[in-house]
Structure 1
Amino acid sequence: MKEILTLQEVADYLQLSDKTILKMVKNGEIPCAKIANQWRFSKPMLDDWITSKMQVIPQNDLSRLVESQFDYIPLARLIDEKSIITDLKGQTTKEVIHELAEKAYINEFVADKNIFIKQLLEREQLTSTSIGQGIALPHLRKPNGNIVTEPKIVIGVSKEGIDFDSLDGEKTTLFLLLLSDSEVVHLKLLSKITRIFGIDNAISQIKQLRKPEEFVKFFNKIEQELSRR
């Protein structure tokens, strides 16, 4: 099967109706990208998503998730001004990953920088984490509490943009490195980010941000809007 699928092909692949898939897309429940006003899906990323859905979630993860009230923590609390890079220097996928990982390590979000970088690059080799429209969401294929010390988001902005093997062929300018210490937290975080980017004009607004404090303010505002839906 080819690596880029249409909505109908995904429906056939998952043995669901196209209406069900479209509903999942609108709810931010399934990884996808809108290209030329059409929904497209990366099969490797879809397979990762299917695998994560089939995994048995350890009870201690579920308990920790409930106890920490992760669903109610604003994304802005996962984004520190000190972990935002407004002028990435990297010109390649490897260089950008190293730069983002270094920022995570300096802020003590990561216990082992070298292993973290290695696994991030392995994930990119599998299939790009770019979701199109100039945005990428680098993350580990299998979240690991021994590597990531706490859930956080490291943001990087490339003024010129780099070739990140995007689905739509555009250069990637905005990177949100998702740090999760468990599969549960990762899925919650990815789902929330997807829902935010589904809000009208959210992507165009975030691309206009230039200062770290503007990113924090943006996520506070946009999540308030999301909570009213």
Structure 2
Amino acid sequence: MKLDTLKAALCLGVSADTVERWIRQGKVPAHRQGTDWVFHLSQLRDWARANGLPFREHPDQVQITDSIEQVTVVQALRYGGLHHGIEATTVNEVLETLAQVAPIPSADREELSRRLKEREELSSTGIGRGVAVPHPREPLEGLIDRPSITACFMTSPVAFGAIDGRPVSAALLLLSPSVQTHLRLLSRVAFCLGNGQVTSMLTEGHQSSEELLERLDAVEAHIGS
């Protein structure tokens, strides 16, 4: 099955501009057909999986959201992914792992890791109660076009220099394409983390990912109510 640029973008969950940028950079498998670029579904799927990117098999069934500004915490987590059993013993190892599993092309992972470490040197992103919210100092404008939250759950708590001195069991990597999106999503994350059951589910790790997402969805429903 062949795809045009728009359908390839829908499969990958990014904008057509991002796909075109990846074509220019030689990052994505694309083929010239006259004046247009085309993609083979199987090749694009394999490339996405090799680069740790989400992939939708049926682009014609994808619904485009009204605006990335309206993305919820649950939607951002579903896109970014939840990863259990992370064996990290230092802050840098946690940040490097987050960069490796985040929904960005593999060619950008080293740069993301560098940015996360630079931000962490300014002050700890450990916000207390066993949770950290790492993020770059500046939004990833030009590198991503939709926000994501990638959750990593450590097998053993990691000393993070958190404000309450408690080691971190869950790290939520927040990536945004703009300042406005970052601030909105960060405020929603803070609201959810104000719920004791949510923080317990994050740090104790007894529940499944779906149970956690269901609880977050219920808590988010009260934002603005």
> With structure 1 as the length reference, what TM-score do the two structures score?
0.63
Counterpart position of 1:61? none
**Equivalence for 2:127:** 131
Match of 2:200 in 1: 204
Amino acid at match of 1:150: R
Partner residue of 2:137? Answer: 141
SS of residue matched to 1:145: coil
Corresponding position of 2:72: 74
Residues 52-91 of structure 1 aligned to structure 2 (within 5 Å): 68=67, 70-71=69-70, 73-80=71-78, 83-91=81-89
State the identity as a percent. Answer: 28
Task: Please name the residue that 2:223 is paired with.
Answer: 226
Structure 1: how far apart are the matches of 2:138 and 2:92? 19
How do 1:1-229 residues align onto structure 2 when only pairs under 5 Å count? 68=67, 70-71=69-70, 73-80=71-78, 83-104=81-102, 107-108=103-104, 112-209=108-205, 210-227=207-224, 229=225
Residues 202 and 84 of structure 1: is their aligned pair in 2 closer, same or farther, counting only changes over 3 Å? closer
Give the root-mean-square deviation of aligned CA atoms.
2.4
Change (3 A) 1:163 1:200: closer
For 1:90, give the aligned amino acid: A
Q: Which residue of 2 aligns with 1:13?
A: none
Partners of 2:204 and 2:197 in 1: CA distance: 11
Give the direction of change, closer, same or farther, for the CA distance of 1:111–1:191 in structure 2 (3 Å limit).
Answer: farther
Partner AA of 2:108 in structure 1:
D
Letter of the structure 2 residue corresponding to residue 120 of structure 1: L
Matched AA of 1:143? P
- Tell me which residue corresponds to 1:44: none
Per the alignment, do residues 216 and 123 of structure 1 end up closer, same or farther by CA in structure 2, a change over 3 Å counting?
same
Task: Return the structure number with greater relative CO, CA threshold 8 A, min gap 6.
Answer: 1
Alignment partners' CA distance in 2, 1:152 and 1:223? 16
Q: Which amino acid aligns with 1:211?
A: S
Q: Distance in 1 between matches of 2:106 and 2:174?
A: 12
Aligned pairs, number: 160
Give the Å deviation of 1:69.
Answer: 6.2
Give the aligned residue type for 1:100.
Answer: L
Question: Any idea what SS the aligned residue of 2:135 has?
Answer: coil
Residue in structure 2 matched with residue 40 of structure 1 by the alignment? none
CA drift at 1:223: 1.1
Q: Secondary structure at the match of 1:86?
A: strand
C-alpha distance in 2 between matches for 1:109 and 1:133? 32
* 3-state SS of 1:168 partner: coil
- In the alignment, structure 2 segments of 5+ residues that lack a partner are 1-65
The AA in structure 2 aligned to 1:196 is: C
Post-superposition CA distance 1:42-73 (Å, at most 9, x none): xxxxxxxxxxxxxxxxxxxxxxxxx61624x3
* Shift in CA distance, 216/81, structure 1 to aligned 2, threshold 3 Å: farther
Q: TM-score, normalised by structure 2?
A: 0.64
Cα distance per residue 1:14-60 (max 9 Å; x no partner) = xxxxxxxxxxxxxxxxxxxxxxxxxxxxxxxxxxxxxxxxxxxxxxx
Deviations along 1:104-128, one digit per CA (max 9) or x if unpaired, are: 1xx3377611111101000001111
